[in-house]
Structure 1
Amino acid sequence: MKQVVIYTICMGALLSSCNIYKKYNRPDVDMEGLYRDPVSVNDTLVSDTTNMGNLPWEEVFTDPQLQKLIRQGLEQNSDLQTAILKVKEAEAGLMSSRLAYLPSLGLSPQGTVSSFDKAAATQIYSLPVVSSWELDLFGKLTNAKRGAKATLLQSEAYKQAVQTQVISTIANTYYTLLMLDKQLAITEETAVLWQKSVETMKAMKEAGMVNEAAIAQSEANSYMIAASIPDLKKSIREAENSLSLLLKQAPQRIERGKLEDQSLPTLLNVGIPVQLLSNRPDVKSAEMALASTFYNTNQARSAFYPQISISGTLGWTNSSGSYITNPGKMIASAVGSLTQPIFNRGALTARLRVAKAQQEEALISFEQAILNAGSEVSNALVQYQTAQDKIEQREKQIFSLEKSVEYTQELLTLGTSTYLEVLTAQQSLLSAQLSGISDEFQRIQAVVNLYHALGGGRTE
């Protein structure tokens, strides 16, 4: 008995040096310079302490119709429903690992009827309750439980990542519809104006002010604008169908507001990198995957050490060796066993090497997830800044082109300008107006992308 105690103490000291019981700690990751300044070429962004990603999505997306669609998506989206079920699976796995600490119990009744040379039949029975209990002296069950906990946290983070993606995708598709609606409205208004221009040209021809070539060119431009309308309507239908798919419903018309009525945050605080690390659900998921592989490695190490189990039986039987007694008597037994791997053809060593390699892979994925997060934030910031700069210049361009169209039409009436100058001015104005709508959409899209990049839409 003394030898067993000494052996166990020595093994415990050895195990402490092997870190079998050590908990996972986040590795040191360089978070400096994670975001790039959207204006400066070389400088990194001085981050704010307030993170826009912490805002509830209802405060970011204030359009009532959009809020209704997002709520519907959070209730019905197929990907999100699947992610929720994965969380339930992980919860069941954690419960199983926790119950592994308890002894197992089983009822194993047996009965035998035998007769030799037509003698009276002999009936033997036993009603035992069998129990088995594994002692967790070497961290096998502990690391399994911790690994299951990490898996649960990973599945919860994955669910949050899907939820954030669903919110952002619904918002982006919704704003795409608003952009297409406005482009269609301007195109239809321009088509009406150009049709009136054709009528004006015909009247001017009667007065001898323009020729047939001017009328033909004017009609061709009018038809060109009219031909672009079906493409815009097609794009609207496709966007509605895509949004319906996200909402897990049959393709149908989507009720929506107007692009000019939208109000989104203009103060884009991104937060410090540590906040990004704790908020991004995909980063959190990658870290929990790393923690899971850490505990798998510990389990692989613990397999090299003894497995101690205690089993016992308690019940009733009428069989006592070669004797049959009736009624039956109580029977009880207890057995302790220790299994120490000696030679397993390298299987345990191979398993440990695989676990270590998987842990290194998970660490690389975790570091890459952090870099991806910083890159997405930087891209969203520069997208917003670029769209803002373009909008300022585009407004000036549209104002100048509106004056140009007005002046050239007046000059054409006075006979001091050609119809080509009028057509060119009209085409340039339409192009600038459509581009202006696209610029506004890109600015809105940048806000949505930044909110997504900062891990917005989480459920705390």
Structure 2
Amino acid sequence: MKKQILYTLCLAVMMSSCHIYKKYNRPENINVSGLYRDTQSVSDTLVSDTANMGNLPWDQVFTDPYLQELINKGLENNSDLKTAALQVKEAEAMLLSARLAYAPSLNLAPQGTISSFDKSPITKTYQLPVVASWEIDFFGKLLNSKRAAQNTLMKSETYRQVVQTQLIAAIANTYYTLLMLDEQLTITEETSEKWKETVETMKAMKPAGMVNEAAISQSEANSYMIAATIPDLKMQIRETENALSLLLGQIPQTIKRGNIVEQNFPEEMDAGVPVQLLANRPDVKAAELTLAGCYYNTNEARSAFYPSINISGNGMWTNTATGLGVFNPGKLILSAVGSLTQPLFNRGANIARLRVAKAQQEEALIAFQQSILNAGSEVSNALTQYKTAEDKSVQRSMQINSLEKSVEYTKELLILGTSSSTYLEVLTAQQSLLSAQLSQVSDSFQRMQAIVNLYHALGGGR
């Protein structure tokens, strides 16, 4: 008896050493240092504060009341988010099943028989058997199965967070696209009206010989060119509204919205230290949970090499039992059996299964490391995009200021008639001003898009 206890303890120690009972721990070779590039230096990594923009609630980042209403509607109605929530419920059911595997299984199979041989009196027999079976999880098979189910539940919850963060970012980006198109449409319509006024002015100057017919025709052509871009902008606005309606889970319709110049954002744009990315990015977390799931699958494959221990019991109330001398009235029969099954001939299949599990674990490790690199790259790109938009806005404002003066001066020269070629300068100045104004709107959108992308890259909105 003492030898059996000693053998059991040795076996337990041996199994512990081969990770059957150990929980998943993050690999030590996962590197998160120098994850972000500095926006000023081509080689230095970003030294940032521990404050992380991704930790802010989404309604503190996107303060536009119209946008907040749209995001709330999307969180309620988006089909992808609803599907992700149902997957969480599926994982909860699977975890419950894995936990119940520890409990004994009970089966009741009542039977009744009526028989008569050669017109003999009818014999009635019955059996009320209850069969109980219980697998003792001495070798970690059920334990790792339960841990894998827990990991799957966490992964499904994390996937729901991934869908939610992507949805918030997509709604915000589409909304800001609408604001950009609205502003570009307003600028284009105003410029078109100004061009028409210029054409009328030049027509009035023709009798005095201040401009010729070629100048008027050229001015009219440019006026028509600008007017022709207005239907395209309106079409893009309609298509963007339809795309946003799809994200909101509603039929295509007009979207109520604000103005691009009224948008306000948090002043601080801290990215946070790289380690926080592991906790905040749901997709990185999901990649690690996939690795943990593969780890438990490997442990379960290892446990297949060890015996399975089962205890089964039978209880039956019957009025007949051949060889036991039990007849009417009914009697109770009890029995219990313990079994130990050691795999022999299926060892090759178990080895193959273990090799597959190990390979899948290595693949998951590579995917986890790559997800961290991808996350760092997305944060770096968003920071660079924001810095670029900020730098461009300063130069663009000065450009527009100079072009507005140029348009004003050339118009005065045209009216005064001091130069025969002034009408070409007016056309050029007005075209340049329109282009710069549209670019300024694009720069503002790029800045807002950078904020959305950075917030998403830092795991915001979860």
TM over 0.5: yes
2:245 — aligned with what? 244
Q: Where do residues 10-29 of structure 1 align in structure 2 (5 Å cutoff)?
A: 10-28=10-28, 29=30
Does the CA-based 8 Å contact 2:112-2:124 persist in structure 1? yes
Query: Does the CA contact (< 8 Å) of 1:384 and 1:442 recur in 2?
Result: yes
Gapped regions of structure 1 (runs ≥ 5): none
Contact 1:124–1:324 at 8 Å: present in 2 too?
no
Q: What do residues 3-23 of structure 1 show as CA deviations (whole Å, max 9, x unaligned)?
A: 654543332232122111011
Matching residue's letter, 1:402? E
1:430 to 427, 434, 453: 434
Q: CA RMSD in A?
A: 1.2
Classify the secondary structure of the residue corresponding to 1:320.
coil
Q: CA deviation at 1:96?
A: 1.1
What are the within-5 Å matches in structure 2 for residues 344-423 of structure 1? 344=346, 346-417=348-419, 418-423=422-427
**Matched residue, 2:98:** 97
Tell me: CA distance 1:48–1:184, structure 2 relative to 1, closer, same or farther (3 Å): same
Q: What is the alpha-carbon distance in structure 2 between the residues aligned to residue 47 and residue 439 of structure 1?
A: 25
CA distance in 2, matches of 1:16, 1:455: 37
**1:118-153 Cα distance to aligned partner (Å, 9 max, x none):** 322322211022111000000001101111111111
Q: Which moved more, 1:13-22 or 1:443-452?
A: 13-22
2:401 is aligned with what amino acid? F
- Counterpart Cα distance in 1 of 2:18 and 2:54: 41
Match of 2:56 in 1: 55
Residue in structure 2 matched with residue 341 of structure 1 by the alignment: 343
Q: Say whether residues 1:295 and 2:296 are aligned partners.
A: yes
Q: Give 1:316 shift.
A: 0.5
State the AA in 1 paired with 2:380: S
Q: CA deviation at 1:201?
A: 0.8
- 1:267 is the counterpart of 2:268: yes
Against the structure 1 CA distance between its residues 164 and 433, is the aligned structure 2 distance closer, same or farther, given a 3 Å change threshold? same
Question: After the TM superposition, which of the residue ranges 243-252 and 7-16 deviates more from structure 2?
Answer: 7-16
Distance 1:5 1:120 in 2: 58
* Deviation at residue 265 of structure 1 after TM alignment: 1.7
Alignment of 1:181-192 (within 5 A): 181-192=182-193
Amino acid at match of 1:24: Y
CA distance in 2, matches of 1:264, 1:380: 15
Superposition map of 1:441-456 within 5 A: 441-456=445-460
1:191 Cα offset (Å): 0.4
2:305/2:347 contact within 8 Å kept: no
In the alignment, the residues of structure 2 paired with residue 168 and residue 142 of structure 1 have an alpha-carbon distance, to the nearest angstrom, of 39
Q: What is the match of residue 314 of structure 1?
A: 315
- Asked if 1 retains the 8 angstrom alpha-carbon contact of 2:378 and 2:457, the reply is yes
> What secondary structure sits across from 2:319 in the alignment?
strand
SS at match of 2:23: coil
Distance 1:209 1:13 in 2: 103
Q: Secondary structure at the match of 1:200?
A: helix
1:47 is displaced (CA, Å) by 1.8
Residue in structure 2 matched with residue 193 of structure 1 by the alignment: 194
Q: What corresponds to 1:158 in structure 2?
A: 159
Tell me which amino acid in the other structure corresponds to 2:351. T
Counterpart of 1:190, as a letter, is T
- Letter of the structure 2 residue corresponding to residue 205 of structure 1: K
Indicate whether 1:66 and 2:67 are aligned. Answer: yes
Is the CA contact 2:379–2:457 (under 8 Å) kept in the aligned structure 1? Answer: yes
Q: Secondary structure at the match of 2:270?
A: coil
Cα distance in structure 2, aligned partners of 1:411 and 1:205 = 15
8 Å Cα contact 2:399-2:436 kept in structure 1: yes
- Distance in 1 between the 2:390 and 2:3 partners? 78
Q: Which whole-Å deviations, capped at 9, do the CAs of 1:290-348 have from their partners, x for residues lacking one?
A: 00100000000000000000111123111221456112101111111110001116111
* Contact 1:265–1:447, Cα closer than 8 Å, also in 2: no
Map 1:177-256 → 2, pairs under 5 A: 177-256=178-257
Instruction: Provide the rounded CA distance (Å) in 2 between the counterparts of 1:215 and 1:367.
Output: 65
- For 1:205 and 1:14, the matched residues in 2 are separated by 102
Task: Compute the TM-score of the two structures, normalised by the length of structure 1.
Answer: 0.98
Counterpart-to-counterpart distance in 1, 2:193 and 2:224: 11
Deviation, structure 1 residue 38:
1.1
Q: How many residues align?
A: 458
**Mapped partners of 1:369, 1:338: distance in 2:** 44
Comparing 116-125 and 80-89, the one that deviates more: 116-125
Do the aligned partners of 1:87 and 1:152 also contact (CA within 8 Å) in 2?
Answer: yes
Unaligned runs of 5+ in 2: none
Are the counterparts in 2 of residues 373 and 453 from structure 1 also a CA contact under 8 Å?
yes
Which consecutive aligned stretches of 4+ in structure 1 deviate over 6 angstroms post-superposition? none
Once residues 68 and 210 of structure 1 are traced to their aligned partners in structure 2, the CA distance between those partners, rounded to angstroms, is 55
- The CA distance in 1 between the partners of 2:427 and 2:192, in whole Å, is 13
Aligned-partner Cα distance in 1 for 2:6–2:425: 101
Normalised by the size of structure 2, how large is the TM-score? 0.97
Cα distance in 2, alignment partners of residues 279 and 334 from structure 1: 53
- Equivalent residue, structure 2, for 1:332: 334
Instruction: Tell me the amino acid that sits aligned with residue 210 of structure 1.
Output: V
Aligned to 2:169: 168
